[in-house]
Amino acid sequence: MSHEEYESYSGRVECWEASTETANLLREPTGFPHEYSSRRLVVLVHEIGRTRGSRIVSGGSVDIVQRDAEGRRQLVLQADESIYLHPSRDRPAGLYVEVGSDSLPDVVLEVDFSTDVRRGRRGRGGKLADYAAWGLREIWVEVPDTVKSTGRRRPGLTIFLHRGSGYVEAPSSRAFPGWTAAEIHRALNEVEDSPETMAALRRVGRLMAAAEGGYGA
């Protein structure tokens, strides 16, 4: 896919690379299991923000763009959700998240229903490797419970924290202190908020408020 084709394309592109003029198109852009998890996260972090006492917002699947010396797009990645803990301070100045000038999201969610962010492409590392090169601090990779019926990868959520030049797996979030991978996975797959999930959201919100000098709701 050339620069011109990419600029005029109206569908979902998970990744586009100028040097090879290749694009990874999301195979199931409107599939319910894929979309449910990302939309669900927005609701969950909103509740945490209410307890913390300040808003937490999602940038959705905004383009994260790396440009070349001439200002042309060189590499573009789209996350399933991009979370900003301090939107009044850190949100992008323009249409896209510009690597090198804008603050990067505090958390990126990738829903691996029909894709795998760790899988390489044409001699390069996978999407996770590109995130590491850019220094994104925390990546969540969710395999929904509905994958059980398809025979694909085992359901669950993996938290990757940036360390050195790559990522290490962690049992709980750094951005949302004390929120464990198991708790996040359960919350993302619930239809109704369980008492356990609500307790976890409020616990995390209070910890965040305390760390920032607030009191929490």
pLDDT tens track for 177-194: 999 999 999 999 999 999
Residue 31 — very low, low, confident or very high, per pLDDT cuts 50/70/90? confident
Say yes or no to pLDDT of 90 above 70: yes
Q: Which amino acid is at 125?
A: G
Taking the domains of the chain in order of start, what are their residue ranges? 31-61+77-204
Residue 214 to residue 49: CA distance in whole angstroms: 12
The verdict on domain 31-61+77-204 having CATH code 3.90.1570 is: yes
Residue 63 — very low, low, confident or very high, per pLDDT cuts 50/70/90? very high
Mean pLDDT of 43-65: 96
Say yes or no to pLDDT of 16 above 50: no
Residue 22 to residue 2: CA distance in whole angstroms: 8
Mean pLDDT of 12-29: 54
- Taking only the tens place, the pLDDT of each residue in 120-148 is 655 556 889 999 999 999 999 999 998 66
Residue 28 to residue 144: CA distance in whole angstroms: 14
pLDDT at 120: 60
